Amino acid sequence: MKNTQHEKLLEKMESDVRSFFLNNEYKKSKKELWELFTAFVYFRGEIDTGKEISDMLSFFEQLVGFLLTLNRINNRIIKLNQKP
């Protein structure tokens, strides 16, 4: 990949991350993910096995970790853009 293509890709990713966190605060997003998970367990609890619920909890934890990583990247982008 040429350097300019790489730079364009990074700029697009930066823009997407910034846009997400401008519209969705980290703590609010984490809370909404938890609400989705608990709704899943509540409405599917009688149907799904313990393994399926355990898998969903693992998936939830990975999503929260990914969201945290994106939030850290976003904060770093903000700091870099503030430097003269």
The residue with greater pLDDT, 84 or 65, is: 65
Per-residue confidence at 69, pLDDT binned at 50, 70, 90? very high
The domain segmentation of the chain, as residue ranges, is 3-82
The pLDDT, as a whole number, for residue 45 is: 64
What's the whole-model pTM score?
Answer: 0.76
Could you tell me if residue 25 is left (phi over 0), alpha (psi between -120 and 50 degrees) or otherwise beta? beta
pLDDT tens column, 23-67:
999 999 999 999 988 888 788 766 667 788 788 889 999 999 999
C-alpha 81 chain-centroid distance: 21
